[in-house]
Amino acid sequence: MAAYIIRRLISGFIILALVTLFVFFVMRLLPGDPLIIFMGRSVSSGNMSMEQLENMRAEYGLDKPIMVQYLNWIKGIFHGDLGTSIHYHEKVGRLMLERFPITLHLDIFSLFIGTFLGVMLGIAAAIRRGTWVDTLATGFANIGITIPVFWLGVVLMYTLGLKLRLLPIAGYTSPFDDFWMSTRQAIMPVICLSITSMAVIARQMRSSMLEVIKQDYVRTAWSKGLKERVIIFRHVLKNSLIPIVTLLGLAIGIVVGGSVLVETVFAIPGVGRLLVDSIFAQDYVVIQSSILIIATIIIVVNLLVDISYGWLDPRIRYS
Amino acid sequence: MSVLLDVKNLTTQFNTEAGIVKAVNDVSFQLNEQEIIGLVGESGCGKSVSQLSVMQLISAPGKITNGEVNFEGRNLLDYESNSDEMRAIRGGKIAMIFQEPMTSLNPTLTIGRQLTEMLELHLNMTKEAARERAVELLKQVGISGAESRLDDYPHNFSGGMRQRVMIAIGLSCNPRILIADEPTTALDVTTQAQLLELMKDMVSKYNASLVIVTHNLGVVARYAHRIYIMYAGNIVESGTTEEIFANPQHPYTKGLLKCIPRLDEEKGRKLVPIEGLPPNLINMKSSCAFAPRCSERLERCLTEAAPPLRDIGNGHYVGCFEK
């Protein structure tokens, strides 16, 4: 088990190294210059001279050869310095510290809700197969998969926020400052973030349950005189969750990717929003570092997912 | 000997898209206290379905359409399949062992849990008491190191060992009846013999009755007191084991006997298989289902319905025309 985890960590490390290479060099391939964009946006840039521009270029190390720039970035990461944003004039580490908890708050919430509701919906559809419950759940799941998240966001804002005035239209408040407000503001973003993974999980859960219900050991469970509830939750659920765990790794990707859209739509100052703003500003350093952090999270979560298989299915041994 | 289980005119059918399949057609049988009976027939003749019907474990599109299952003064078919009364019977009073030991145990639960959940349910035992009882049961079915094996998962056991665990589960709540549905089919011959011996000992220890469902007359010859022969959803012959082996009356029974070797016969006899296959049970004709394969077929067999079981003395019944 320990050997397995170490091996996975090493391979994760290699993947991250490839991610840094890819992100760094692809960004540099794009036409445009972050400094000129910055100058164009800043108020005081009208009287900025070429000399000042070159000074700034040197300040950010952008005058050095591209390989040196890459190595400097990597060296910085190992020293805990992710670089300095051109656009925000701030250390990327600080920016992340500000924005990361926001994204984490909404994403973890969405992942939890999406998984829980997805599993429940799948169970309901499977054990009431062919009834209106099944039709409703399956239909809902199909809508959830096809619906564009940003469109859903706008529709929710318009109906629940603007017309019915049930929820605040946009924005973010920390739950430590105002828990009630924070929760109300989080509802619509969480719906948008969780709907796709919920739909995917519900569909997989349904077919997985239907598969397990046919198994001989479930018939054995019935022959023992157990209640239906006990059979479903003790004998069927754990066995049907195995393919769901695989999906969890995928769901993380869906939610994190969704954050980019949802945070933009709902004006939430999280990492997703930061990433979008930085792309428009061609703020190399922020983009590189955000993507590196997101990639790290996805790799770690997938490792946790793979380890949890062993808990669900005792036949799986790690070697 | 008093009657423990009295099944009368049991009919179970499956409504499939291709038509109605009468898997069990007007079947009656009795099981006495502390008796072992064998239910014998080819695959797909309704043996298993008849036993699952007794337990009300038939799922859609199957349906029990007629009959009575009288047990301890009640007709079990009066109860809903998922009623509390029926669940108390299942596992508590009538337990079942299935054909495939490799897949009949839940791979994600320990053997201990699969034993104790039943003890806790039917005998209201505490967790500790159930665990102790589970160890005792595993010892009784011959699993060494029972205490530590309780926390093992099914994949740590061989097929024969798993079937021993199934027997322990089946008998854990002192049921009156144990139904073993092809319990040894998936196992090798030496393990088969050991398990049958174990089952016989265990049911006599617990004063239970045993129904052995099998396609192999050889399996039941040694253990069963009485034998029911089934063909295409009907019982075609029944009698004591001695009568069936010494004096088979139905051509199908004779055919079954001809295709197994016997120790008490002259050397060099060729084994004779029964020609053809069992009929498709969809939309059956009303004439005798075995007639097309029968070596003693009469004209009337192809046109008239097979006669009801006829008493020919010595507790021997046969569902064939008198020759």
- Domains of chain A (ranges; CATH) run 2-78 (no CATH), 97-312 (1.10.3720.10)
* Residue B155 in domain: no
Residue B213 sits at the chain A interface (C-beta within 8 Å): no
User: From B88, which residue of chain A is nearest by alpha-carbon distance?
Assistant: A225
What is the C-alpha separation between A115 and A250, in angstroms, rounded?
Answer: 11
Measured in angstroms, the CA of A220 and the nearest CA of chain B are apart by 6
Residue B16 sits at the chain A interface (C-beta within 8 Å): no
* Residue B97 in domain: no
- Provide the pLDDT confidence category of residue A116 given band limits of 50, 70 and 90: very high
Residue A220 sits at the chain B interface (C-beta within 8 Å): yes
Residue B167 sits at the chain A interface (C-beta within 8 Å): no
Tens digits of residue pLDDT in A243-278: 898 888 888 888 988 999 999 999 999 999 999 988
* Residues A260/A13, Cβ–Cβ less than 8 Å: no
Give the one of A217, A223, A227 whose C-beta lies nearest to B106's C-beta: A217
Residue A210 sits at the chain B interface (C-beta within 8 Å): no
Residue where the block lists tokens 């509701």:
A117
pLDDT, position B1: 67
> With contacts defined as CB-CB under 8 Å, which chain B residues touch A224?
90-91, 95, 117-118, 121, 169
What is the C-alpha separation between A93 and A290, in angstroms, rounded?
Answer: 10
Q: Do B106 and A220 touch (CB under 8 A)?
A: yes
Indicate the burial class of A46 (C-beta count within 10 angstroms; 0-12, 13-18, 19 or more): exposed
Closest CA to A226 of B77, B180, B93, B82: B82
**A contact test, residue of B49, B98, B106 with most A CBs within 10 A:** B106
Q: How far is CA B319 from CA A24, A184, A191, B179, B235, in A?
A: 86, 76, 68, 25, 8
Predicted TM-score of the model (pTM):
0.81
> With contacts defined as CB-CB under 8 Å, which chain A residues touch B49?
none
pLDDT, position A235: 92
* Residue B243 in domain: yes
Tens digits of residue pLDDT in B144-198: 888 889 999 999 998 888 988 998 998 888 899 999 988 887 778 888 888 888 8
* Residue B323 in domain: no
Q: Do A225 and B155 touch (CB under 8 A)?
A: no
Q: Do A223 and B118 touch (CB under 8 A)?
A: no
Q: Do A226 and B104 touch (CB under 8 A)?
A: no
* Residue B167 in domain: no
Residue A216 sits at the chain B interface (C-beta within 8 Å): yes
Give the domain CATH number at B274: 3.40.50.300
Q: What are residue B69's DSSP bridge partners? A: B7
The pLDDT of A64-76, averaged and rounded, is 88
Residue B91 sits at the chain A interface (C-beta within 8 Å): yes
* Residue B292 in domain: no
Tens digits of residue pLDDT in A276-318: 988 888 888 889 888 898 899 888 888 888 888 877 888 877 7
Q: pLDDT over 70 for what percent of chain A?
A: 97
The pLDDT of A162-191, averaged and rounded, is 89
Residue B92 sits at the chain A interface (C-beta within 8 Å): yes
Close Cβ partners of B76 (under 8 Å, ≥ 6 residues apart)? B54, B56, B69, B70, B86, B89
* Residue B262 in domain: yes
Which parts of chain B are beta strand (E)?
3-16, 19-32, 36-40, 62-71, 74-75, 94-97, 177-181, 209-214, 226-231, 234-240, 310-311, 317-318
pLDDT, position B146: 85
Mean pLDDT, rounded, of chain A: 88
Helix, strand, or coil (residue A270):
coil
Secondary-structure percent of chain A, ordered helix, strand, coil, rounded to 5: 80, 0, 20
Residue A185 sits at the chain B interface (C-beta within 8 Å): no
> With contacts defined as CB-CB under 8 Å, which chain A residues touch B121?
224-226
* Residue B255 in domain: yes
What is the C-alpha separation between A250 and A233, in angstroms, rounded?
Answer: 24
Radius of gyration of chain A from Cα atoms? 24
pLDDT, position B259: 82
pLDDT, position A44: 57
Q: How many distinct structural domains can be found in chain B?
A: 1
Tens digits of residue pLDDT in B101-146: 888 999 999 999 999 999 999 998 899 999 999 999 999 888 888 8
Measured in angstroms, the CA of B238 and the nearest CA of chain A are apart by 27
Q: Is the pLDDT of residue B50 over 80?
A: yes
Residue B117 sits at the chain A interface (C-beta within 8 Å): yes
Q: Do A230 and B87 touch (CB under 8 A)?
A: no
Domain that holds residue B49: 3-86+209-286+305-318
